[in-house]
Amino acid sequence: MESLRREAGAPALTAEVLTQALPYIQRFRGRSIVVKLGGAAMAGEMVDTFAGDVALLASVGIRLVVVHGGGPQIGEMMERFGKSARFVDGRRVTDSETLEIARMVLVGKINSGIVAAVNRHGSLAVGVSGEDARLIKAVQRDPSLGFVGEVAEVNTDVLERLLSMGLIPVVSSIGAGVDGQSYNINADTVAGALAAALRAERLIVLSDVGGLLGDIDDPASVLSEVSVSDLETSLASGEVSEGMIPKVEACLAALDGGTGSAHLLDGRQPHVLLLELFTDTGVGTMIRTEAPA
């Protein structure tokens, strides 16, 4: 009897959820949202869930740009080639051979996999490398890091044309210098730069972390909101761990460029993208220019 009551209440619960989502759908329709996909959110089953959510968002008129990383996959491929990864401040040191491995994994494998997953749900995703049509003009970040780049300029015309056609650009984080030299760029950095260039409504970063923690030793102490000034203070004081530095810097860059808000979410949580965008409470950590109320 109890199971029947639960089943009978399911349609009402669904209707309640959809009603709560309506004002957010209306708010975000026609707006650009940049989503960075990384970490465990890129595992096979989670990619399919993410792809379905992306298709749903696109179907209600939200202009989506997806940026993906691939650090663990690059590391695995490097091991196959007998190479060991080395990191400085969360960024992979990249020699010429590592760069070729990164391009092979990011462009040839991960990008095409995400595009195929989204297109299975009926949307029209298209894979784009930062090298394509000079989308991302890069400069070398630091000679000690090798072929690791920094975003110098974003060709927003490329993205705007794709978005105007109803397509979902899926961007791999490889850029090129004016001399044609390719550079591996941190995907968080690329996402922040694209969000700033598009003056996106939101930047959403999906990773293996649930958000910013009030107590680094307590995974449950996720902060729901932080201001830019508080985050800058934490970054300057060294409170932000190495792996989170590029993510925090990307969020700050996006907000500085005019993005409405930035969000750090746990990509391991199914449908976390929908929960953040379409519910009153949201999840993870929201970073905004003004202090939380």
Q: Quick one: pLDDT at residue 13?
A: 55
* Assigned domain for 223 exists: yes
Give percent above pLDDT 70 in the chain. 92
Decide if pLDDT at 22 tops 80: yes
* Assigned domain for 3 exists: no
Whole-Å CA distances, 46 to 52, 123, 187, 190, 206: 10, 17, 18, 22, 11
Q: Is residue 56 a contact partner of residue 274, using CB atoms and an 8 Å limit? A: yes
Decide if pLDDT at 123 tops 80: no
Catalytic residue among 69, 71, 175, 210: 71
Q: Quick one: pLDDT at residue 188?
A: 95
CA of residue 17 relative to chain centroid, distance: 25
How wide is the angle at C-alpha 71 spanned by C-alphas 274 and 86, nearest 5°? 145
Average pLDDT on 101-124 reads 92
Catalytic residue among 70, 132, 149, 188: 188
* Assigned domain for 80 exists: yes
| Residue in 34, 66, 36 with CA at minimum distance from that of residue 246 | 36
β-strand pairing of 136-140 with 149-154? antiparallel
**Radius of gyration of the chain from Cα atoms?**
19
Please provide the size of the chain in residues. Answer: 293
Decide if pLDDT at 20 tops 60: yes
| pLDDT tens sequence across 237-270 | 888 877 788 899 999 999 999 999 999 999 988 9
Decide if pLDDT at 4 tops 70: no
* Assigned domain for 18 exists: no
Task: Judge whether 188 counts as a catalytic residue.
Answer: yes
Average pLDDT on 15-23 reads 78
> How many angstroms separate the CA atoms of 208 and 224, rounded?
17
| Residue in 131, 66, 83 with CA at minimum distance from that of residue 103 | 131
* Assigned domain for 156 exists: yes
* Assigned domain for 114 exists: yes
Task: Judge whether 113 counts as a catalytic residue.
Answer: no
Decide if pLDDT at 218 tops 90: no
Decide if pLDDT at 222 tops 90: no
Tell me what the pLDDT averaged over the chain comes to: 88
Q: Is residue 174 a contact partner of residue 111, using CB atoms and an 8 Å limit? A: no
One-letter amino acid identity for 217? D
Decide if pLDDT at 10 tops 90: no
| pLDDT tens sequence across 50-68 | 999 999 999 999 999 999 9
Task: Judge whether 280 counts as a catalytic residue.
Answer: no
CA of residue 137 relative to chain centroid, distance: 19
Q: Which residues pair with 169 in a beta bridge?
A: 126
Number of domains observed in the structure of the chain: 1
Question: Within a 13 Å sphere around the CA of 229, how many CA atoms are in the beta-carbon half?
Answer: 3
Q: pTM of the entire structure?
A: 0.90
- Residue 90's pLDDT band, with cuts at 50, 70 and 90, is low
Q: Is residue 267 a contact partner of residue 212, using CB atoms and an 8 Å limit? A: no
Decide if pLDDT at 3 tops 70: no
Decide if pLDDT at 205 tops 80: yes
Average pLDDT on 262-279 reads 91
> How many angstroms separate the CA atoms of 97 and 103, rounded?
10
* Assigned domain for 43 exists: yes
Q: Quick one: pLDDT at residue 147?
A: 95
- Residue 1's pLDDT band, with cuts at 50, 70 and 90, is very low
- Residue 6's pLDDT band, with cuts at 50, 70 and 90, is very low
Task: Judge whether 122 counts as a catalytic residue.
Answer: no
Average pLDDT on 149-156 reads 96
Torsion on CA atoms 240, 136, 203, 269, rounded to nearest 10? -80
What residue numbers bound the domain in which 210 lies? 28-288
The CATH number linked to 201 is: 3.40.1160.10
| Residue in 196, 113, 186, 184 with CA at minimum distance from that of residue 159 | 196
Strand order in the sheet with 182-184: 149-154, 136-140, 174-176, 182-184
Helices marked H in the chain — which ranges? 2-28, 44-59, 71-80, 96-103, 112-119, 156-164, 187-198, 228-237, 245-256, 272-278
Question: Within a 13 Å sphere around the CA of 261, how many CA atoms are in the beta-carbon half?
Answer: 19
Task: Judge whether 243 counts as a catalytic residue.
Answer: no
* Assigned domain for 4 exists: no
Catalytic residue among 69, 149, 247, 284: 247
